Amino acid sequence: MKYIYIKTWGCQMNEYDSSMIVKSLEKNNEYLITENVEKASILILNTCSIREKAQEKVFHQLGRWRKLKKNNPEIIIAVGGCVATQEGKEIFKRANYVDIVFGTQTLHRLPKMISEVKKNRKYFIDISFPKLEKFNYSLQPKKTGCTAFISIMEGCNKYCSFCVVPYTRGNEISRPCDDILFEISILAKKGVREINLLGQNVNAYQGPTFNGQICYFSELIRLVAEIEGIDRIRFTTSNPLEFTDDIIEVYRDTPKLVSFLHLPVQSGSNKILSLMKRSYTIEDYQFIIEKLISARPDIQISSDFIVGFPGESEIDFQKTIMFIKKINFDMSFSFIYSNRPGTPASEIKDNINLKEKKKRLYILQNIINIQTMMWSRKMFGSTQSVLVEGISNMNVMELYGRTENNRIVTFTGKSSMIGQFVNLKITKIHTHSLKGELI
């Protein structure tokens, strides 16, 4: 039996893609996954290009693998994901020992590419965009625990000035509704209790149905909620532009949808939002939050922030800080602006030095951390429904699970509880987790 080693960088979509790669290779080529890189005959790097210097990170990793191939020329090295789509043949020019370059929409063709390389011993590249063809090759999903990610759409039509996703993932395309429901039904029968719907702009979903109609995102959530065994629904990542009233109504009438939302805003300054080409204002965003709270009073909001975007003044930054306090965000993913070649923002003069960017990021993250702790303290003494995911990494005598608002809770319990919902009383508050007792 031959072995695959796969290294994945990036978002949940990349993780989902890697699981598809593994399943297709295990089925078609009779390979097995291994965590020992020196044992593998196929090395796969699934890449992400969101952050700065992503390409250099890729070539540094390939340089380490080059030594393995030098000792065993039969090893096949494949590079996929967003950097592969972005760089294409340049990867072969800089690393001529790479055998395969495949794109975000051609990963299902990898078994055939491997066969071609073995047969002809020359490099192979396919970074085309055959829409959602890859999902036609989806295999029945394996049980991966009590939670699962399901990709429902790919790509982005927004073309924000700082983002490479439309260039590496293509335009928005939605999977057929019935395919998604079938995949989730299989997972539910295998014991999955929580589903996380994935997409670059997940709330822009408009999938075809069997009768030629269009299923919108709000309707899809309600249909998933009807699947027996699925008791909790999440989604990521959404865009304020398409957070329409019909989606807000789902929060009013579908209790299986969690009271926790990640809704990226990126900046609290309308001037910066305009430079980012986000196509909404702070007032638009706040109006969405107000309607959400009306529909689901206990909802908690997390967001994304980019600090030090070209043109961001101290006043713009302070507007972001004030907005964070006003909305009272629970958590955030926050980063220093990363110049991505080929994006419109890369043409804007960067007027902020790195020291100032780091200072602003520290201030922003410190405020978010304070707010996160405040939200956690509100949970002290409360009863929380927790989906038990497994044995705690910190203490093998304890289990851990996740609350509806995405908090990790550790507690003492029986292994038979794994995969089930339990009610816990929150007894301790830690910086990054909670402690609970069974009720």
Most distant CA pair in the chain: distance in Å?
66
Residue in the structure block whose two tokens are 């997409």 = 199
Residue in the structure block whose two tokens are 């598809």 = 20
- SS3 of residue 159 by DSSP: coil
Centroid of chain to Cα 247: 20
Q: What is the DSSP string of 222-258?
A: HHHHTSTT--EEEEE---GGG--HHHHHHHHH-TTB-
d(CA 147, CA 193): 6
| 215 labeled binding residue | no
| 177 labeled binding residue | no
The type of residue at 390 is G
| 160 labeled binding residue | yes
| 156 labeled binding residue | yes
- SS3 of residue 76 by DSSP: strand
- SS3 of residue 17 by DSSP: helix
Strand 434-438 relative to strand 408-411, pairing: parallel
Query: Computed over its alpha carbons, how large is the radius of gyration of the chain?
Result: 23
d(CA 208, CA 178): 8
| 48 labeled binding residue | yes
Q: ∠87-100-107 over CA atoms, to 5°? A: 85
Residue in the structure block whose two tokens are 């430079």 = 275
Residue list for the binding site for [4Fe-4S] cluster: 11, 48, 82, 156, 160, 163
Residue list for the binding site: 11, 48, 82, 156, 160, 163
